[in-house]
A and B are shown apart, each in its own frame.
Chain A
Amino acid sequence: QSTLTQPASVSGSPGQSITISCTGTNSDVGSYDLVSWYQHHPGKAPKLIIYEDKKRPSGVSNRFSGSKSGNTASLTISGLQAEDEAHYYCCSYASSSTWLFGGGTKLTVL
């Protein structure tokens, strides 16, 4: 598999919650608790927001949460804010010392 599968776009209104899925296989997402998520505002450096499936780095809002079931990981953003509008990417270790990223999801805050 060359990339993890993410929806191309999701949208939500301020205050709502949205969930972005990230589907892999039992050779990557399903085999390791090593899914991470990144927020990317165009022109800026991508930012780590979730690691090891569900952990949040220091300084990241608790409105961001991660989970996983089988070969699908999910990122949930609650209490949507305008500043959350960005691209989101998942990533997983994929065996043989390689890493796979998802195709990215554009979040639009309506």
Chain B
Amino acid sequence: QLQLQESGPGLVKPSETLSLTCSVSGGFISSSDYYWAWIRQTPGKGLEWIASIYYNGRTYYSPSLRSRLTISADMSNNQISLKLTSVTATDTAVYYCARLGGLEVFWLGNWFGPWGQGTLVTVSA
């Protein structure tokens, strides 16, 4: 059974870089059948798709965050990473990683699942 587990610093200071890791077990991120994605939930608000990555390194980013984001894949450790630079309080959120499937219907995928349980990141001095 595929499982995803996010890990991160918990607390990041404003203007610094947030680094998160998603460890995948029960499956391989090198599979051509799926993308892998980061999604966040800010306090009191809904979900926001942030970025996606394919096994061949193809990446996609939210236009509003593109200039500050980097998503990458470590095939040897079966991990997906996310870096968000110049963070502010508005980046305080629970960050989730998820598998993005359904490529047989739509080449970019069309459903997210399973998800990790998420990791809370607070941006504060």
Contacts and interface: CB of A to CB of B under 8 A. Distances in A.
B113 A52 contact: no
Interface residues of A, number: 28
Most chain B beta carbons < 10 A, residue from A45, A47, A97: A45
B105 A52 contact: yes
A51 B60 contact: no
Nearest to B6: A45
Interface string B90-121: 00000010100010011010111111111000
Interface of B: 37, 39, 45-49, 52, 60, 62-64, 96, 98, 102, 105-106, 108, 110-118
11 contacts: A36-B112, A44-B117, A45-B118, A46-B47, A48-B111, A51-B102, A52-B111, A97-B52, A98-B62, A98-B63, A103-B45
